[in-house]
Amino acid sequence: MIVGDAAINQRVSQRFHLKPLRADDMENYLRHRLRVAGHATGNLFSPTAAMEIFNATHGVPREVNRLAKLALEHAWVTEAAKVEAAAVPFKVAVLKGGTSSERSVSLESGGGVAKALRNAGYFVDEIDVQDTGITAEMRNADVVFPVLHGGFGENGDIQKSLEDAGLRFVGSGSEASAIIIDKIKSKQLMEKHGIPTAPWAVVTKGNRAFPSSLSLPVVIKAPREGSTVGIAIAETVEEWEAGLDKCFAYDSELLVEKFINGMETTVGILNGEPLPVIEIQVPGKIYDFDAKYTHNQGETRYLCPPENISKELQKKAQEIAVKFYQVSGARDILRVDIFITKSGEMYVLEGNSLPGFTASSLVPKAAGKTGLSFEKLCVFLLQCAMKRPKS
Ligand SMILES: Nc1ncnc2c1ncn2[C@@H]1O[C@H](COP(=O)(O)OP(=O)(O)O)[C@@H](O)[C@H]1O
Ligand SMILES: [Mg+2]
C-alpha cells in the first residue's frame, strides 16, 4: 500500500514545510476523502484513481478539491453533491496548552479533540501554543480549533490574532470572548438584558470598604480567572479582609457577589441550542478546583438529568442560558453556570466560552445524553466554523 509510504511522506513535508506526516494521518486522509464523498466503497474514485489524485496533489486539501471538481467535469463522477461534499476542507489546526493555570487541562482537552477529529477522518495538526502568534501551520489549515482555557486563549486575544490573520476558527470571536471571560463585564451585560444574576458590587485596591448594598456572606472573585482560582467566600469580617488579600493578588479590581444558597447547575449551548441541564453536587462548599479536578475532599456528583430540579425549572434555565449566549454574541459553544434556589429563583454566575472539553467534561457529557458522541460533537463544532466565511 502506498499510503504511509515514507518517500511520499517526505516529499509532502518537504514541499509544504510541514511536520513529517505520520502513516496513520495519510490513511485517515484518504479514507476521509472517500467517505465524505459518500464512497467508502471506492465508487467515486477507484482506489487507484484516489491514489493518483493524492500523489498528483501532494495531499494538499485545496488541490485535492480542485482535482475532485475536475473529475466531475470529466464525468468520472456524476453527482455534484458528492463532489461538493468532497470539497469540504478538512485540514484542522487544534490549539492546545497555552500558558494559563489551566494549561494541563487544555493539553488533555486539545489532545482529545485532535484524536476524535483524526478518527473522524480529518487531517489534524496539534499545536502547543505559547503565545498569540499565528504560525504557518495555522495558516495552512482550513480551520483552526482553539481548545485553550483561561488567559490569552479564552480572553479574546488569540481570537483577535486569528481574526486579523483572516483565519476561520471554532468558537466565539474576540469581542464576545473578552466579555464572557470578564465576570464584571458579564454582570453589566446581564443587568442590561434582564438576565437574573446575584446582587453584586466592585471593590478596588484603593477602596476595600465592604459594599453598602451587600451583606455577609459574600463571594469575592478575581474577575478574569477561571477554574476557581482567585475566589474566596467571606462569612465574617475577618474572612472578608483575608479574602480581599488573597484575591487582590490576581487583580486590582474584584467582583463581590451575594452568596447564593442553591443548587448548582450548568447548561451547555451548541450553536444556539441548549443541551440538557446538569446538576452539580459538590462535597464541600463550592465547586472549586478540588471539586473539579483533584477530588481530595470527596467526589463531585454530576446528575443529568438533574434529580432535584423540576422539568419546568430546567426549561427555564435553558432559556436563560440561551439568552446569555445570544446577548453575549457567543458562537458555536458556551457553558452557562446557573444557581437555582429551592423556591425556583435563578442566578447566572458566568459563561464559559471554551469550557472543559475532555471526553468526561460537562458539555461532552450533556451532548452524549442527546446521542451526540464526543467525535460527532467535535465534528459538529468544526462544521459550525466551516459554514462561516473566512474573516
Ligand atoms: N454567588 C455565589 N454563591 C454561591 N456560590 C458561588 C457563587 N459564585 C460562585 N460560587 C461557587 O464558586 C464556583 C466558581 O465560581 P464561578 O463564578 O463559576 O468562577 P470560575 O468557574 O470561573 O472559577 C461556582 O461553581 C460555585 O460553586
Ligand atoms: Mg464557573
Q: Which of 322, 360, 327, 304 is nearest to 190 (CA)?
A: 327
356 catalytic, yes or no? yes
Number of Cβ within a 10 Å radius of residue 57: 17
- The answer to whether residue 131 is catalytic is no
Residue bearing cell 483552526: 144
Alpha carbons 36 and 121: distance in angstroms, whole number = 9
Residue type, 362: L
Report how far apart the first and last C-alpha atoms of the chain are (Å, whole number): 40
Residue-level pLDDT at 68: 56
Domain with CATH 3.30.1490.20 in the chain: 199-258
For atom 14 of ligand 1, the residue with the nearest CA is 228
Which residues neighbour 242 within 8 Å (Cβ) at sequence distance 6 or greater? Answer: 232, 234
Determine the distance separating the centroid of ligand 1 and the alpha carbon of 259, expressed in angstroms: 9
Atom of ligand 1 nearest to the CA of 347: 1
* Domain 199-258 falls under CATH 3.30.1490.20: yes
pLDDT score at 13: 46
Query: Per-residue pLDDT for the chain (391 aa), expressed as one digit of tens each?
Result: 233 345 544 554 454 443 444 444 544 555 555 455 444 333 445 545 555 555 555 555 555 555 555 554 554 444 444 444 444 447 899 999 999 888 999 999 999 999 988 877 788 999 999 999 999 999 989 899 999 999 999 999 999 999 999 999 999 999 999 999 999 999 999 999 999 999 999 999 999 999 999 999 999 999 987 767 789 999 999 999 999 999 999 999 999 999 999 999 999 999 999 999 999 999 988 888 888 888 888 999 999 999 999 999 999 999 999 999 999 999 999 999 999 999 999 999 999 999 999 888 999 999 999 988 898 899 889 888 877 877 6
- Nearest alpha carbon to residue 50 among 29, 80, 81, 22: 29
CATH of 91-170, one of 3.90.1150.10, 3.40.80.10, 3.40.50.970, 3.40.50.20: 3.40.50.20
**Is 350 assigned a catalytic role?**
yes
Find out whether the beta carbon of 350 lies less than 6 Å from any atom of ligand 1. yes
- Output the pLDDT for position 39: 41
The ligand 1 atom at the shortest distance from the C-alpha of residue 229 is 23
Residue of 33, 97, 102, 172 with catalytic role = 102
Structurally, at CATH architecture level, domain 263-380 sits in: 2-Layer Sandwich (3.30)
Contact 138, 88 (CB under 8 A): no
Domain with CATH 3.40.50.20 in the chain: 91-170
Residue 337: active-site member: yes
Q: Is 125 a catalytic residue?
A: no
Using only C-alpha atoms, the chain has a radius of gyration, in whole angstroms, of 24
DSSP string, 283-327: SSSS--HIIIII-SS-PPEEESS-SSS-HHHHHHHHHHHHHHHHH
Q: Which residues does residue 201 pair with via DSSP β-bridges, in sequence order?
A: 256
Q: Which ligand is nearest to the CA of 287?
A: 1
Cβ of 349 less than 6 Å from ligand 1: yes
Question: Of residues 186, 328, 335, 347, which has the active-site annotation?
Answer: 335
Q: What CA–CA distance (Å, rounded) separates 114 from 129?
A: 14
